[in-house]
Amino acid sequence: MADSSLPPPPPPPAPPVGQPADHVPPPPSADSRIETPLVGVYGVTKAFGDVVAVSDVSFTVGPGITALLGPNGAGKSTLFRMLCGLAAPSQGTVQILGKDARRDTAVRGRIGLVPQQDALFDRLSAQAFVEVAAITHGLDRPRERAAEVLGVVDLDPGERKPVGAYSKGMRQRVKLAAALVNDPDVIIADEPLNGLDPVQRKRMIALFRELGESGKCVLVSSHVLDEVARLGSDILVIAQGRLAATGNFHDLRALMDDRPHRIHIATNDPRALGAELLRRAIADGVRVIEDGVEFDTTDIEAFGLAIAPVARELDVHLNGLVPLDDDLESVFRYLVER
Amino acid sequence: MAGSVGLVRSTVVVFRVLLGQLRSPARLTGLGLLGVLSMVISWSVGSGADPSPVQHLDNATGVITLFTFTLVLPVIALIFGVGALGDARDDGTLVYLWVRPLNQISVVFGAWLAATVISLPLIVIPAALSALLLDAGSELVMATLVASALAVVAYSAVFVMLGILSRFAVVLGLVYVLLWEGVVASLGSIGAKMALRGYANSIVTSRTGVRTELANSAESTSIIIFAIVTVVALLLAAARLATLEVD
Ligand SMILES: Nc1ncnc2c1ncn2[C@@H]1O[C@H](COP(=O)(O)OP(=O)(O)OP(=O)(O)O)[C@@H](O)[C@H]1O
Ligand SMILES: [Mg+2]
C-alpha cells in the first residue's frame, strides 16, 4: 500500500465547468494554499446503478464556512462521502489538500468528519468515544485531548452514561467533538445542526463560525435555508445531484425573489380582482377558482405593494393569501430548471 | 506502509471497541444456550447405556464432531465473526474506524481478535464440558479442547472476511456451514479439503484414534492449514476493506 508510489491524481484544475469561479473565497494570504485548494471537486459524477446521485459537479473551497444546501436526496452526503474517501467517484476527482483520501490514508488525519447517521459506539461513554477517535488519529494524550474537545461542545467529560442513552442533540455534539479531536484542517459536517435545540444550534453555529474564521475549511450541509443564512457562509446549492447555484446568502435570496411565485388569494370577488391584477400586469396566468384566484407573479415586491390598494379600490374583501410554492423544494426545482 | 498510527496501538483500540459492541446480552444468551444444548445432549449420551468402552468412545467422538464441531462451533464463530465488522458497516459506525490515518490491517486484525476472544469461551468451555459429560476418557477432552480452540481462530478470520465481503454474510455463512461443510464436503475429497471442520476432526482423530468424518490429515497439517487460512482471510479482508464503499 505505497501511497507515495501511486501516480499523482490527474491534475484537473480546469475552471469548474459552468460555474462562476468567484464563489470561492480568496485565500487569506499568499501561502502555498493558493495553488492547492483545501477542497477540490472536479467533474465528479457518482452513480449507484441507475440512480445518479451526483452529476458532473465541480467546485473548489478555501478557508471559511461553505454550506452545501439541498433538499433530501440531492446528493449532499454522497459528495461528502467521496470527499472523505468513503466512496469512489464514478467519474472525476475529489481532493482534500490536494490528496485523494480514498488512496491516501495519511490525509484522513487532517479531516474531521461529522457523518449524517446517528450511530455511535453505543456502549462507550462520550469521553471514551472521543478518546477512540483521538487514538485512531494517533494523538498523544488522548484522554486530555478528548476531555478538551468535549468541553468545546458543552459536554461533560466526566459523564459515565453510555452515548447510546444520549439524546439526539447530545449525540450530534459527541460526533462533532470526535470530528474536532485531531484539530483538522478540513471539517466536513453532514447536517450537524439536526436535532439540536435552538440554544445549542446557536452555540454550534458560533463554533462553526469561529472555526471558519480561524482559517479552517468548514463544509456544512443542510436543507434549511435559514440555518445556512445564520452560518453566514458561502453557499453551494445542490439539487438532483447537480450544482444549481453558488453565492452568498444575499445572492441566493435575490435569485429566489426573482423567480415566479404562485399565489392563492381567497376573496369574495375573484373575477374582478383577477381582471384588475392582469390589467395592471402584476400577475400573469390568472385562474379563477370558486372562492379565489390563483396566479403567478415575477415581481413579488410590486405585488405586495399593490394588492391592498387594488382591493380597496375594487371594494373586494381579501380573505386570505397563501404563497403556494414558498417551500424550499420549489425554490430548488426552480434553480435546477432555470 | 499506509497509515501513520502505530499498528499495535490501533489494533488494540479497534479490538476494545468492537469487543464492546459484540457483547450484546441477546447474542451472549442465545449462543450460550446453544452451548448448553450441546452439553445436555452430551450428558444424555454419556449417561446412557454403555455397549463397550471402545463403542462408547466412538459414540462420544461422534457427538463432538457431528454436533459440536458441525453446528455449535461454526454458528457461534459465524455470528461474532460476521458481526465484528459487518455490524459496524450496517449501522454506520465503520466511518469512525475508516476515516482515520490507519492501516486497514489493524482494523481487520482488531476485529478478528474481538471475534475470537468473545467466541472462544462460548465455544471451548461448552465443548470441553460436553466431552467431560460424555465420560469417554481424558483424551477426548483434550482433543476437543485443542481442536475447538484452533478451529475458532480460523473460522473467526473467515467470517470476519465474509462480514465485509457481503451484506448477506450470515446467510452465506450458514449456507457454507450447513450445506457445504455439513453435506457437500462429505461427498468428495476436494470438498473435504475445503471444509475447516475436517481439520478439526483430524486433530480429534489423531488424539483419540477414532476415525471421524473428513479427517485425513495429521495434527500438524491441520494447525498449518488453520494458520494459513487465518492469515489469508485477514489479508483479503484488509484488501477489501480498503476498497469498500462505506455509508
Ligand atoms: N449507497 C447507496 N446506494 C444506492 N443509492 C444511494 C446510495 N447512497 C445514496 N444513494 C442515492 O443517491 C441519492 C443522493 O443521496 P444522498 O444521501 O447523497 O442525498 P442527501 O442530499 O444527503 O439527502 P438527505 O438530505 O436526505 O441526507 C439518493 O437518491 C439516494 O437514494
Ligand atoms: Mg444526506
Give ∠ CA A187-A191-A197 in degrees, rounded to 5: 115
Write down the pLDDT at residue A330: 66
Q: How far is A175 from chain B (nearest CA, A)?
A: 10
Please tell me the number of the ligand nearest to residue A78's CA. Answer: 1
Write down the pLDDT at residue A18: 36
Write down the pLDDT at residue A11: 43
3-state SS assignment for residue B245 = coil
| Ligand 1 touching residue A75 (CB < 6 A) | yes
pLDDT of residue B121 exceeding 80, the answer is: yes
Whether chain A has a CB inside 8 Å of the CB on B91: the answer is yes
Residues of B in contact with A86 (CB under 8 A): 95, 98-99, 245-247
Write down the pLDDT at residue A280: 86
- What is the number of other CB atoms lying within 10 angstroms of the CB of residue A23? 20
Strands A91-96 and A39-48: antiparallel
Whether chain A has a CB inside 8 Å of the CB on B240: the answer is no
> Longest C-alpha distance within chain B, in Å?
64
Please tell me the number of the ligand nearest to residue A86's CA. Answer: 1
Q: How far is A279 from chain B (nearest CA, A)?
A: 56
Write down the pLDDT at residue A336: 65
A262 with A323: CB under 8 angstroms? yes
Write down the pLDDT at residue B96: 97
Write down the pLDDT at residue A7: 40
Cα–Cα distance for residue pair B222/A186, rounded to 1 Å: 50
Residue range(s) in chain A whose domain bears CATH number 3.30.70: 261-337
The arithmetic mean of pLDDT across residues B87-104, rounded, is 95
A19 with A246: CB under 8 angstroms? yes
pLDDT of residue B95 exceeding 60, the answer is: yes
**pTM of the predicted structure, to 2 decimals:** 0.84
Q: Could you tell me how many helices (H) and strands (E) chain B has, helices first?
A: 12, 0
Write down the pLDDT at residue A28: 37
Residue range(s) in chain A whose domain bears CATH number 3.40.50.300: 21-250
Taking one residue from A and the other from B, the number of pairs with CB-CB distance under 8 angstroms is 95
Please tell me the number of the ligand nearest to residue A223's CA. Answer: 1
Whether chain A has a CB inside 8 Å of the CB on B245: the answer is yes
Whether chain A has a CB inside 8 Å of the CB on B9: the answer is yes
Write down the pLDDT at residue A327: 62
Give ∠ CA A60-A39-A97 in degrees, rounded to 5: 135
CB contact under 8 A, B99 and A113: yes
Which residue shows C-alpha cell 489479508?
B235
CA of residue A201 to ligand 2 center, whole Å: 19
Whether chain B has a CB inside 8 Å of the CB on A137: the answer is yes
pLDDT > 70 fraction of chain B, expressed in percent and rounded: 97
Cα–Cα distance for residue pair B192/B215, rounded to 1 Å: 9
Whether chain A has a CB inside 8 Å of the CB on B97: the answer is yes
pLDDT > 90 fraction of chain B, expressed in percent and rounded: 68
| Ligand 1 touching residue A51 (CB < 6 A) | yes
The arithmetic mean of pLDDT across residues B205-231, rounded, is 90
Q: Quickly state the pLDDT bin for B212 (edges 50, 70, 90).
A: confident
**Cell numbers found for residue B70:** 458441525
The arithmetic mean of pLDDT across residues B12-26, rounded, is 96
Q: Quickly state the pLDDT bin for B45 (edges 50, 70, 90).
A: confident
CB contact under 8 A, B100 and A113: no
Cα–Cα distance for residue pair A85/A236, rounded to 1 Å: 20
Superfamily in which the A21-250 domain is placed by CATH: P-loop containing nucleotide triphosphate hydrolases (3.40.50.300)
- What is the number of other CB atoms lying within 10 angstroms of the CB of residue B247? 17
What is the separation, in whole angstroms, between the first and last Cα of chain A?
46
Q: Quickly state the pLDDT bin for B59 (edges 50, 70, 90).
A: confident
Residues of A in contact with B83 (CB under 8 A): none
Which residues have CB under 8 Å from B36's CB, separation 6+?
Answer: B126
pLDDT tens for chain A, residues 1 to 338: 333 333 444 444 433 333 444 443 333 344 544 568 899 999 999 999 999 999 999 999 999 999 999 989 999 999 999 999 999 999 999 999 999 999 999 999 999 999 999 999 999 999 999 999 999 999 999 999 999 999 999 999 999 999 999 999 999 999 999 999 999 999 999 999 998 999 999 999 999 999 999 999 999 999 888 888 888 889 999 989 999 888 887 777 777 777 777 888 999 998 888 888 888 888 888 888 878 888 888 877 788 888 888 889 999 998 888 877 666 666 676 776 66
Residues of A in contact with B89 (CB under 8 A): none
Highest mean pLDDT among A298-312, B48-62, B111-125, B191-205: B111-125
Cα–Cα distance for residue pair A264/A307, rounded to 1 Å: 12
Q: Which of A180, A185, A135, A138 lies closest to A155, judged by CA?
A: A180
CATH of domain A261-337: 3.30.70
